[in-house]
């Protein structure tokens, strides 16, 4: 009968990976990393409605409610912003027929930035995705006040 031997380094690595996973999951849940949740979309001290229009080639046009073009999101460079918009758009019941998505960028009473969909009541807390992700949307609020 042959004996299977597993190198000690592989066993230690597997144990460390399991330990890391067991530690990370509760921390991610505690800090709501990447969590979609139903949130109250009213009473936000700062908010701005944005219209995201998908364009050929995967890009998106970003406009304000009055139809003024603010920017164009491109595949190379704006990946997080486009993914966040598409994740919320996927929750909409008529997503296949929609030619644009109306989403709120809002700062709650605690100063945390969210991207929210008034149609579904879903919101993404952007801080869980890092500073660059917050900055990708914070500029839209800052432009509306300055």
Structure tokens at 49: 């409605």
**pLDDT tens digits for 58-113?**
787 888 888 788 777 766 666 777 777 777 777 766 655 657 888 888 887 777 88
What pLDDT score does 146 carry? 47
DSSP 83-97: HHHHHHHTTSTTTTT
Bridge partners, residue 36, by sequence: 124
What pLDDT score does 20 carry? 93
Is the pLDDT at 40 greater than 50? The verdict is: no
For residue 146, give Cα distances in angstroms to 102, 126, 141.
22, 22, 9
Q: Are strands 69-73 and 101-107 parallel, antiparallel or unpaired?
A: unpaired
What pLDDT score does 134 carry? 82
The mean per-residue pLDDT over the stretch 112-135 comes to 81
Bridge partners, residue 72, by sequence: 61
The mean per-residue pLDDT over the stretch 105-122 comes to 82
Structure tokens at 1: 């009968």
Is the pLDDT at 38 greater than 50? The verdict is: no
Q: Which residue has the higher pLDDT, 40 or 57?
A: 57
Bridge partners, residue 53, by sequence: 61
- Residue 72, Cα to own-chain centre: how many angstroms? 17
What pLDDT score does 143 carry? 64
pLDDT > 90: percent of the chain: 11
Bridge partners, residue 46, by sequence: 107
Q: Greatest CA span in the chain, whole angstroms?
A: 77
């Amino acid at each position: 009968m042959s004996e299977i031997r597993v190198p000690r380094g592989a066993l230690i690595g597997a144990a460390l990976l399991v330990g890391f996973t067991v530690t990370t999951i509760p921390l991610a849940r505690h800090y709501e990393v990447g969590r979609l949740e139903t949130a109250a979309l009213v009473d936000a001290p700062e908010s701005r409605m944005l219209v995201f229009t998908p364009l050929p080639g995967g890009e998106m046009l970003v406009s304000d409610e009055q139809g003024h073009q603010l920017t164009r999101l491109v595949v190379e460079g704006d990946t997080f912003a486009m993914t966040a918009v598409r994740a919320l758009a996927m929750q909409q019941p008529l997503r296949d027929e929609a030619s644009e998505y109306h989403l709120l960028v809002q700062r709650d009473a605690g100063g945390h930035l969210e991207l929210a969909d008034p149609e579904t009541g879903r919101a993404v807390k952007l801080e869980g995705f890092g500073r660059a992700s917050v900055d990708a949307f914070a500029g839209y609020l800052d432009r509306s006040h300055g």
